[in-house]
Structure 1
């Protein structure tokens, strides 16, 4: 494995603070590295140094000759122009240079750029769309090293799963900063933790890092205990005098027993449900015949269609769905912020709602942090313990000094933490959280999950953080765009499986609707070039163009299927061992698959040429 980048004794100072202090590390070909650390610990600074965008105050950064690095930062800054200009400009003029590359088409489809449109102007895109465009511009290249800063921001669960799967198929090295624990576990083979100017390197992803950090903390506690014992011994010697020194302290440190003793008990769902029923009563929230729509350029789109749904005491529900499926709208209707077009929403008389919106616009920016918390309540009961505002603030990661910072000066992640804290201080018995993990670092996420895990009220949460959803909720429901709320006994895995089936079914439905969609063109083949009597060189009319687009989508889905089959056959060939007959059969299947893929790519190019003149 060749070295791509070497960092030697690098130090970066910002004002009076040393962000990186004598850091030495390197990136080799094939490395997949996840970077962890608290907000403000220096993760983005480390990426900037590694990619050559920031010159350190001391130390040396060397990069192998010819190494190509692609960086996707958090800022979302993009050059002016269209999506095509940003993502595909290095392929040269026209679409033919990239259209035959199945890898490029996979990226465009996987990140949903076909829905945005290649001719869309970049300056009119939303923050999430700009993030997808920036990612696509990096992923379509043959970069030797990808440096990604929070790539999962604004991606839904399906998008995060696709990105993880895609990055695992690339040969390029990867260094990624992210707070998405599931994503880290899926892609990282190595973890860098930025702490107090140093970088701790651990094998594995997030789960391995958690175990390694627990062991490091245990050793730190053991060292501190030894230091205290020595101090106590010295103090006893001073008090009793030399004649009394007749024994030595005995130390017994067993790593396994210490770690096992620290493991918290699992959540007792039955006990929490019983406690919730006592506090809430029988009725929480009930939907009866609720209908909700959202306006679009093509008219109102139905999000909920005469839906009946019941949230009971102690229920812990995770709501998933693609961006724009109506998750936030459903939450606003549930808490009474938005009224449905029809139907009734009944909220129980004992319900005390706590609602966290995505915008976090409810905070008083002129108050200091501790004042904003005390404004809600001076003390709160949590997990059977009474905590003051200051104690709860410390549990949410706010030091005593930070508690006197004005709210208007807090970062986005700190504001979200503060609003969660204020919600809990109000002692609600129903929590409704819309993307609560945005901008939170891994330590704060762990603290939040710990609180939610033992919280006895009813919980409804929308989150793209798969790790949080799988830990703190008991039931997962989804919005698939059919106007219903669908219960998923299999959780997030079942949601992703159904989404794949839904997408694979669309080309078949388009082919079945082809002849009628042609407007009665009288016996012409659906999607065939030259339908409706157009000659070989004539520009297709609108109806034929629509059929060509459908055929293009069908061919793209077929290419994806062939690529999956190709990968499967290659994997099976790698594990077949000495069974030469089986290897020969698999090789024949692989050659047939490759030939069919080439044929389908040729058809795709032919249809694309016809569509260009539409």
Structure 2
């Protein structure tokens, strides 16, 4: 459909979510096409990079009003914040004047003169003034759940459908707290890989081992079957009556309110919800499971930008593993620290950093005339050297790096302080252990805490070694 529209000569293009179901290569092509398009383009999209690169004016519909911004998406965010601040300032001024006028009226003033009548009329206008309506936001927070040493291990996994090879002898050990982004052309097997990790599809050969403490939450690309007659609140209660958050346990109803489901909506049948609301409800259900591994297959489809933004904040504070298939480049840049690129022939190539880091590598390779052997990088075999088989090694299968990614640069700047803080925590725990030598219950808690903090320190120390090795190569130390 999109190709047919673009092949004709139109003066105006109306595009409704044009990047949905396009792979990232096609999205980049569409960006370049629209940037050079001579006519008018009006589109609805939640792809923030696409908005940034293609648009020069944003129209926002909010609470029955339309606001215009002569800017791309990044500028829109700044201008919207300025508009809301101006509205808030005007409202504060209105409330202040209203208080003074009410005090004047309470003193028993009568509308005997023209001036007094005008003042009373102004008071009525102030009382009838509309308070600015602020956008509601989804509120989320993550809860740390225990994760043992063994996470998710793929050993010599192969999968194909007929002649179509999805994976060819792929091995990888997912690290604790790792964020993996999976990209590739449509039909290359991204969703199949996710389903194999989730246990919904069996590999043809090899095996996938899941640690005993691992609990997976899977947000699938396909629309989930929901009973249209079931009430919204009952859908959540079937998962959990109460959900644990950093603030303690909250009810299913309270969680629904945080996800912008009003009390009326909570007791309505699911069939009354829009497609986006059903998608948001499904997301709520996945997060309510308190999993320590989250799998997202095209999470951005049918989620609005505010929900995506809050989800990104949630995932950045999430202490578990995140694996996501996405063509939302903004989402990938904000969330992941390693990119898996599937080539559609069974091979996976790995890139450190987010989507922008991946794109920079591809651009350098495209511009380079030097021959590079891509065979070694295109396969994800486990290291054969036993010294490299440690699942916590950040060098595992990593391509040669010439610079820090943005996230690594920030981590490098703070990691010494992080290590010092963990060492200080361990010393304090040791002092508490000595002080509670006769309290067996307290000792058990302290030893468990010490083990947990020590594991964090060990991981930080290994990370420090890795980052400093890179820093030496690029001359940062």
What TM-score, normalized to structure 2? 0.64
Match of 1:207 among 67, 74, 78: 74
Matched position secondary structure for 2:182: strand
Counterpart residue number, 1:28: none
Looking at structure 2, the residues matched to 502 and 142 of structure 1 have their Cα atoms a distance apart, in angstroms, of 36
Task: Describe the superposition over 1:573-603 as per-residue Cα deviations: whole angstroms up to 9, x where unpaired.
Answer: xxxxxxxxxxxxxxxxxxxxxxxxxxxxxxx
Separation in 2, partners of 1:193, 1:204: 12
The residue aligned with 1:197 is 64
- RCO higher in structure (CA 8 A, sep ≥6): 2
Q: Is the counterpart of residue 397 in structure 1 residue 260 in structure 2? A: yes
Partner of 2:195: 332
Alpha carbons of structure 1 residues 292 and 384: separation in structure 2 relative to 1, 3 Å: farther
Q: Which runs of 5+ in 1 are unaligned?
A: 1-133, 243-266, 506-614
How far apart, CA to CA, are the structure 2 residues paired with 1:487 and 1:238?
Answer: 72
Cα RMSD for the two superposed structures: 3.0
Distance 1:385 1:318 in 2: 31
Q: Distance in 2 between matches of 1:209 and 1:500?
A: 29
- Structure 1 residues 230 and 425 mapped into 2: Cα distance closer, same or farther (>3 Å)? farther
User: CA offsets per residue over residues 164-203 of structure 1, 9 Å max, x none?
Assistant: 1111122222111111111000101111112233321101
CA contact (8 A) 1:286 1:345 kept: yes
Kept in 2: contact 1:395–1:447 (CA 8 A): no
Q: CA separation in 2, counterparts of 1:170 and 1:209? A: 22
Structure-to-structure mapping, 1:49-198, within 5 angstroms: 134-198=1-65
Distance in 1, matches of 2:270 and 2:57, equals 37
Cα 1:206/1:284, change in 2 over 3 Å? same
- The Cα of 1:487 is off from its aligned counterpart by 1.4
2:336–2:353 CA contact under 8 A, matched in 1: no
Partner of 2:230: 367
Quick check: 1:396–1:447 contact (8 Å CA) kept in 2? no
- Aligned CA distance change for structure 1 residues 490 and 451 (closer, same or farther; 3 Å): closer
| Alpha-carbon distance in structure 2 between the residues aligned to 1:470 and 1:395 | 26
In 2, distance between residues paired with 1:181 and 1:224? 31
Equivalent position SS for 2:154: strand
Using the alignment, how far apart are the partners of 1:400 and 1:302 within structure 2? 49
Q: Partners of 1:192 and 1:331 in 2: how far apart?
A: 36
Deviates more, 1:477-486 or 1:322-331: 477-486
Structure 2 vs 1, CA of residues 397 and 310 (structure 1 numbering), >3 Å: closer, same or farther?
Answer: same
Residue 317 and residue 490 in structure 1: after superposition, are their counterparts in 2 closer, same or farther (change >3 A)?
Answer: closer
Distance 1:232 1:288 in 2: 71
Cα distance between partner residues in 1 of 2:88 and 2:356: 39
In 2 relative to 1, CA 234–451 (structure 1 residues): closer, same or farther, beyond 3 Å?
Answer: farther
2:170: which partner in 1?
307
Larger radius of gyration: 1
**Partner of residue 410, structure 1:** 273
Kept in 2, the 8 Å contact 1:366–1:407? The answer is yes
When normalised by structure 1's length, the TM-score is: 0.51
Give 1:382 deviation, angstroms. Answer: 3.4
CA distance in 2, matches of 1:356, 1:216: 35
CA 1:172–1:180 in structure 2 vs 1: closer, same or farther (change >3 Å)?
A: same
Would the alpha carbon gap of residues 233 and 372 (structure 1) be closer, same or farther in structure 2, given more than 3 Å must change?
farther
